[in-house]
Every structure is written in structure tokens, then in C-alpha cells.
A and B are shown apart, each in its own frame.
Chain A
Amino acid sequence: MVDQLQQLAKPLKGAHIVHINSTRYGGGVAEILHSLVPLKKALGLNVTWEVISGEEPFFHVTKSMHNALQGFPIAISQEKLKIYEETNAKEAERLQPLLEEADFVFIHDPQPAPLLHLTPNRKGKWIWRCHIDLSRPFRPVWRYLRNLVVEYDASIFSMPDFSQPLPHLQYIIPPSIDPLTEKNRELPPKDIEEVLNRFGLDPPLPIILQVSRFDRFQDPLGVIRAARLAKKFVPFQLVLAGGGAADDPEGEAVLKEVQAAAAGDPHIHILYLPPDAHKTINALQRAADVVIQKSLKEGFGLTVTEALWKGKPVIGGAVGGIKIQVVDHHTGFLVHTPEGAALRIRYLLFYKDKREEMGRKAHLFAKENFLITRHLRDYLSLLLALKLEAHERLALET
């Protein structure tokens, strides 16, 4: 794979690539960029990663936009759109020299999408990277955003289901994890024990874990309901671990709802973690017997890949990118309801052999499909295709 990456990077040497997103820490996009940017640099590419900044009202608008694009009928007023546009205009001014001279600009998600229109003297190719589930967007908001992204040279979606008719090439590139980061590398047993002790978890009791932001789309209340239903059959402890992100103003309210729902149950642990608690999450995932990701909407769900990589079967909501990571009955189970999740928890805790077999398949599946090297290869292929204007076949000669 390294040879392949070097071959693909060679014709791109010296090209200036700029990535723009809306948060440096917290959430899957930032995590991917923390790995992808140094790897691209190691291949000899000139890469810059910039984060747009904004006030709280800006992130309220973009969160509403995010929810609307994932299908919630949320109307966004002209006044709010003005905040969105003004923040982008300010950022465009700050980033102008960089954006004008870049050979390739990756704009991640809707937050910085207007930057293309705000950079009329751009010379490079612009790519809109949409990480969210756009399969059934709330139409008025998508119509607004579509006008902002229609002139990009290409866009990237995580799976075909998320793409929308657009007049440019729409690449399908699933996200990935980096196996060498603090969140995914092997941990000695003593580090895992330390984390269990720190949070008062009971090591002999099986652990069911969901790692996610405290977000309604991740259905933490549904997970608590599933756990209560499953506890009638098998004993275990449920851990809901996650944090917030700078661009997610709703997290605190959801956390309070979850804490209230779990109150008084000694076997439900709600852990609010800082965005850099990578080692803690790694330890929790390795300690877990089964990982759950019962999302109602999901762009991709990196926590699913993280769990697969650690050899854990995943019970996932049958939505978005989870459907391509959880191969039903092979790397875990796809479910539609808390009841479905409860049955699968019971099954996986009851049948240890099956759980271990699924775990082995899960690791192999993540290794072959969802590691950062494959992701980087796809990105470099896209850049080369855009540079060479090759649409069907891209042949590299050494």
C-alpha cells in the first residue's frame, strides 16, 4: 500500500492542498484530518489545514442546517442565514491569499461551503466533502445549500445513498480510522484496568458501550431503554461515553436528558469526556464486550469502525454508513428499535463463541476496508483524476 501511495503522490508533489472545516477537536472530521494531513505531508504534498471560526449564533445556525440536511424539518430564517453568510464572508477575507493560490481546496461539510463563491479569484480545484447523511434532506435547506455547492469541481460522499443530483463528479469515499493513533493503538491491560477503576466500572460484569456525542441522532435514550429491556435476561453494565464538540451547541441539553433518564441506576454509567480523551475511549472500547451505536441518522460513525478494529461486534442502527460497516450477522447486528437492540445484547452476551467469531471478522473487515491508508489512496486518486481530467481510467507508470 505504501508503494501505491507513493506512486499516486508523485505526480502531485509540490501541489498545495488546503483543508477547511469548522473544528480542530471533537468529532470525526477533525479526527480524520489529524491523521490525513500529516500523512499527505509525509508523501511530499504541501498541505494546510485551516479551521473557520465563528461565534455561538453561527454554530447554532450550522447545527440547525446539519439537522435539516439529515432530514429534520427545521426552517432557517433569513436572519439566521445572514449570520451564516457574514461569518463566512469574514473568514473568506482572512483566508483569501491561501484560498486563491491553493491548487486543491477541500471544504468539509456545510459550515464553510460559501467560501467558494466568496473566492472569485480562485485558481485551483475545489472539492466539497460532505460527511453527513444527505439521503433525505429537508428540501428548503438543501435547495439553499445546493446553490452554494453546485459550482464545486467535485464532491465526496461517504456512500451512494447520501449523494444528490449535482452537475459535477460525486466520489464515494467512506471515512476511515488511523490504527496508530492514541485512540486505536494497542493498550497494555493495566491501562485498561486504570480506566475501569477511574469510572467505578465493575470488571467482571460485562460491558455494553456506546461512544458518541450526546446528540439526539445517536439515540442515547433509546440505548438506555434497550439496556433496561435486556437486563431482564442478562446482567451487564451500560456505559454511555462521549463529549461535545466546539461546533455542537446542543450537546449539553441532551446530556442532561440522558443523565435524568439514567438517574438511580447503578449499572448505567454516563461519562462526559473531554474531546482529547482518546486513550480513555480506546480503553473503554477494548474493555467492552459489545459495542452499540444505535443511531437514528448517521453520516458514517467512526466509533463503529474503531470498535470493529478492536475486535468487538457492533449492534448498530440500520442507518447511514453503519449499514456498510455492520455486516448483519457477520460483524454485528443491524437493528431498528430499542427492542431489537435488547434482543441482540442478550444474544451476544449469552453466546460467547459467536461474539468472539464476530469480533475476529470485525477486525479483519475494518483492516481491509476502513483504515486511513485506503482513505488516503482514494483521496490521492481523486486529486490526480481532477488534475489530469481523467474520468474513467487513471494509469500510473513508474
Chain B
Amino acid sequence: MVKQFAEWLSTTSPSVFIQNHNGWVIPAIQSIHIIGIAAVFGSVFMIYLRILGWAGMDQTLRQTTSRFGPWLTGGLWLMLVTGVLMVLGEPVRELVTFSFWLKMLLVAVSTVIATVFLVAVRGHDQQWEERLIKRRSIQGLAILTFLIWVCIIILGRLIAYDHIWGPWSPATKA
């Protein structure tokens, strides 16, 4: 099903355009995607360090999230756009992999967590500053979601090496 969709997608005109210019278009899109990773991962990193009390302690949590939240959101949009372009450029290489779909699942999970967190801090400022941020459970959740972002980056790179999943990879069957 996915394979047929990917093959159909590769015949559409935007996809054909990228394929015809793949010498520089694909490296360029991938580079912009990595710049997006730097913006998103750098932002979540600073927020996690603040939650754990390892950096930015001269700033309140609210100040930290309003400093890095917009860069996190902006970076995610940039990655969505460049990600869609990469799928358009190489539909079969991207879509017919185990890594891609596991990555998408984790992206969905961590985007929901990030959004809920940013909204919660905005709504209940004082509670977060005084009590919630010091809870072990919140700090543990911060570490867990940070590790999810780490896995997302690894899975993104593994799309190029999907055969390492062995029988789990649809690419090895095809």
C-alpha cells in the first residue's frame, strides 16, 4: 500500500522536479533540515537544562520558555516543510522504511508533549515556578522526552540505513 503510494508520488510533477535536480536540491534540503534540528534540539535542550536546574537559573521557567518556545515551534515548522520536500524528492527511500514511520510516531508524541507543556507553563506560571518544576516526576518526564528527541534524530539518520532493522524493514523485503 505504502509502496504503491510512494511509487505514485514519485511520478507527480513536484517530485519529478526534485529528482531532476537531485544533485544539489536534496543536499540543500537536508542541510536546512539539519539547521532546523539545531534550532529545535538546542531550544528543548535549554528548556530541559532549566527544568533540571543545570543552566539558565538567572531566568524564571516562564522567561526560558518564552525565549525558546517560539524557536522550537518555528524550527518544527521548518522541519515539517523540508521533511515534506525530502519525502517528495525520494518517496520510496523515505516512506518504504521502518525508521521513517517509527520516527513519525515519536515526532507526534513529542510534539504533543511540547505543546501541552508550553501551554501549561503559560497558563499556570506561578505553580510551575514554585512547585511543579521541583517534582521528581516532572524532572523524570523532562529527561524521558529529551531521550525521545534523541531517538528521533537517530531514526532520521537511520532512514538511510534501514536495512539494520533486518526483517522489520520493508526495504529488505522489496
Partners in one complex: no
Instruction: Spell out A's residues near B (CB within 8 Å).
Output: none
